[in-house]
Amino acid sequence: MSSGLRVLAVDDVPAALDDLCRLLREAAEVGDVTGAGDPLSALRMIQNERFDAVFLDIAMPGLDGLELASLLSKLAEPPVVVFVTAYDEHAIAAFGVGAVDYLLKPVRPERLADALARVTRIAPTEESVPMQPDAMAALPVESGGRTRYVHRDEVRFAEAHGDYVRLHTPSGVHLVRMPISRLEEYWENAGFARAHRGFLVALEAVRELRSDSVGGLLAHTDLGDVPVSRRHARELRERLLHAARRGDLSRPEQRL
């Protein structure tokens, strides 16, 4: 049995599929590569075999890549998803369904290496130890026709806004299409805690907990106060105390 990642590549264009499979087979991290020429064939393969990762085109007839990724996310042990596409306008939607990376065609070997490094941190192989995914360490934000990335360590708190979240950072407030519950799944183990139904706060950004004028609780950060609901107050206090004991809470001047 081959060591390394077991990868499924999916693309409805034969030449593109052949190129992607060749690049994957040349990568040291990859042990086995299977190609699928359409999403339904890929779905049948995934139901019958175990794959560590799926490298997936988006624009395909019938069932597109985003729809297939959404189906895969519901599996008990879903493969890691990396999108490979000629179009950059789907980036936010791609990350919203849990993809760990988004590669633009033609795929450059160095970008493929970056994506495989992300996959390797998440998907265990015969020679690796399973690790918790560091997904969404940076979020794509579209503005003025451009996509920039907001890094997680820039964010002081996140605020739910319908189907979006507002990321409050020193450089401004950035809007990302993603439910706050999904963002919590990704960031809970990276120093973020739910303070309120509509707010996540970075533990190291909290300067103090204070009462508001009506007896409610607020988590004070350098970018403003975050409301803390009664439901989440105890857990937030405990996590702040634990972080303080470990020395994870930064001094105010470090956050300026």
Distance, CA of 69 to CA of 54 (rounded, Å): 9
- Structural domains of the chain, with CATH: 5-122 (3.40.50.2300), 138-255 (2.40.50.1020)
Indicate the length of the chain as a whole number.
Answer: 256
Tokens linked to 185: 């799944």
- pLDDT at residue number 68: 86
Q: Which residue has the tokens 């890094």?
A: 151
Q: In the prediction, which pLDDT does 36 show?
A: 95
For residues 135 and 122, the answer to whether their CB atoms sit within 8 Å is: yes
pLDDT tens, position by position, 29-44: 898 999 999 988 998 8
- The dihedral built from the CA positions of residue 191, 192, 194 and 195, taken in this order, carries a sign that is positive
Report mean pLDDT in 10-residue bins for the chain, 256 residues.
80 94 90 93 90 91 81 85 79 66 87 88 56 61 75 94 90 87 84 94 93 88 95 91 71 43
DSSP label at residue 107: P
**Residue-level pLDDT at 183:** 86
Task: Note the pLDDT of residue 90.
Answer: 58
Given phi > 0 = left and psi -120 to 50 = alpha, else beta, which region is 145? left
In the chain, DSSP finds a helix count (H) and a strand count (E) of: 7, 15
State residue 96's pLDDT score. Answer: 64
The neighbour count for residue 79, using CB atoms within 10 Å, is 24
In terms of C-beta density within 10 A (0-12 exposed, 13-18 middle, 19 or more buried), how is residue 27 classed? middle
Contact criterion met (CB below 8 Å) for 99 and 186 = no
Neighbours of 236 (CB within 10 A): 22
Alpha-helix runs per DSSP H in the chain: 14-26, 39-48, 65-72, 91-96, 109-122, 180-187, 230-246
Q: What is the pLDDT of residues 151-194, one digit of tens each?
A: 899 999 999 998 789 999 999 999 887 788 878 888 888 899 99
Q: Residue 150: what pLDDT?
A: 87
Give the pLDDT confidence score for residue 23 in this predicted structure.
93
pLDDT value for 251: 44
Q: What is the dihedral of CA 248, 177, 110, 154, to 10 degrees?
A: -30
Instruction: Please give the pLDDT value at position 95.
Output: 61
